[in-house]
Amino acid sequence: MLTIIILLVGNTQELLDYYGLSGTKHVIKQSAGHAISTGLGKIDTFSFTDKVVTFMVWALIGVLCFSVVQVIARIYREIEEEEKLSSNRYVHPKTFTRGVFWRRVALDFLGVVVGLALLIGGLYCLLAYVLPIALTYTQSFLTGVSVVHAGSLVVGFFMLYGWTLILAIVLKYIVNRHRLFTR
């Protein structure tokens, strides 16, 4: 469904042009802009608006700062816990070696870095290359529905669907990397 929605939204301009509705784009834009500006003007007349907006801005800043502090604290707790686990205070199996333990910790960190790099690279490729190419393929079918153009629709759809599936797999890898390497 996500792929179909992306393809339809991405081809909206071409569909409006093809069906002769390009003028409605301006009408919708003007009426929506007028409705939003009128609504915001009415909301701005209330006496509590400035306080609410200030509260919302600082709440957003607070949530972002809290998130950063939580990430730093979590990383510190994990390192502290791993240091305790490798110490002599705990009874370890005979096969336990600190080198192997710290190698696993380093591989886990490397797995996160590689996963995030793959995710960022995949998103960039999706937005810069795959999406424009897929929209070009599907545009010919959506503007001139025929059996001849059905092949290009299928190619564009599966190109975008495949890339979305790859990004979902990378996200699942990042989330489940502990289970993959600890067994």
Check residue 36 and give its pLDDT: 81
Q: Which residue has the tokens 């929506």?
A: 32
Per-residue DSSP letter, 183:
-
CA atoms within 13 A on the CB side of 55: 5
Cβ density class 80-104: b for 16+ within 10 Å, e for less: eeeeeebeeeeeeeeeeeeeeeeee
Divide the 183 residues of the chain into consecutive groups of 10 and give the mean pLDDT of each group.
74 67 67 79 78 88 94 87 77 77 81 88 90 84 76 86 91 80 58
**Whole-number pLDDT of residue 17:** 67
Widest Cα–Cα separation across the chain: 77
pLDDT of residue 183: 52
170 C-beta neighbours (distance < 10 Å), count: 20
Query: How distant, in Å, are the alpha carbons of 81, 91, 181 from that of 98?
Result: 14, 13, 17
Question: Taking the complete model, does pTM exceed 0.85, yes or no?
Answer: no
